Amino acid sequence: MCGRFAITLPNDAMAQLFAARPANDLPHVPNFNVCPTNLVHVVRSSDGARRLDALRWGFLPHWYKTETAGPLLINARAETLADKPAFRAACRERRCLVVATGFYEWTKSEDGQRLPWYIHRHDSGAIAFAGVWQDWGPETARQRTCAIVTTAANKKLGNIHHRMPLILEPEDWALWLGEAGKGAAKLMCPGAEEILEFHRVGRAVNSNRASGPGLIEPVQGD
């Protein structure tokens, strides 16, 4: 799964990397502790043009009467994405990329304490999570929401968690965004074996109120 991540790339650099037009209301960066319901950086494609937009992390199906009418859908499983009522239309028509520079997962110590790990590219570059999006709410209070697609963890990350975000490389972005025709289903499998590395970080990030670059600094134990 993916329940917390970091984004440190400047907005203009993100727009350039994804060849996308940036919106005026993009979230503040850097943010070393992006949490569910926060606005996140999302790349979408419409009529052949890409946009870098701010979307609420937490997908709201159209039948939710309120934001809390059902579970908070921050992740969508790749294996059932095309079949689940909440996601199947978005899987066909509204795929996106959620931009990050790293994400957190947790293991447990022998005494049951949650031990956080920071997972990132070995070159410290941007990560593009596969995502789906959905407009929700009345026209006067419309929200654009998203979920991150997850898959079974690859062998490298399997010792930390059995799930991981679906990470797409640049050569796959156009297909996922629908710019290169059909066939995005073939992208929904574990990958990123060679590009990711991880290290233990301090338990400060266990709080969703924590902030600052110290959250991703390596520690031996705390």
- Is 105 annotated in the active site? yes
Catalytic residue among 2, 91, 96, 146: 2
**Catalytic one among 91, 96, 105, 146?**
105
Q: Is the pLDDT of residue 30 over 80?
A: yes
Position 48 pLDDT exceeds 90: no
Percent of the chain scoring above 70 in pLDDT: 98
- In 3D space, the residue among 69, 76, 79, 175 whose CA is nearest the CA of residue 134 turns out to be 76
200 and 221 Cβ atoms separated by less than 8 Å: yes
Closest CA to 153 of 116, 98, 193: 193
Q: What residues does 129 pair with on adjacent strands?
A: 98, 167
Going from N- to C-terminal start, the domains of the chain cover 5-102+122-195
Mean pLDDT of the chain: 94
pLDDT in tens, 118-160: 999 999 899 999 999 999 998 888 999 999 999 999 888 988 9
- Can you name the CATH fold of 5-102+122-195? hypothetical protein yedk fold (3.90.1680)
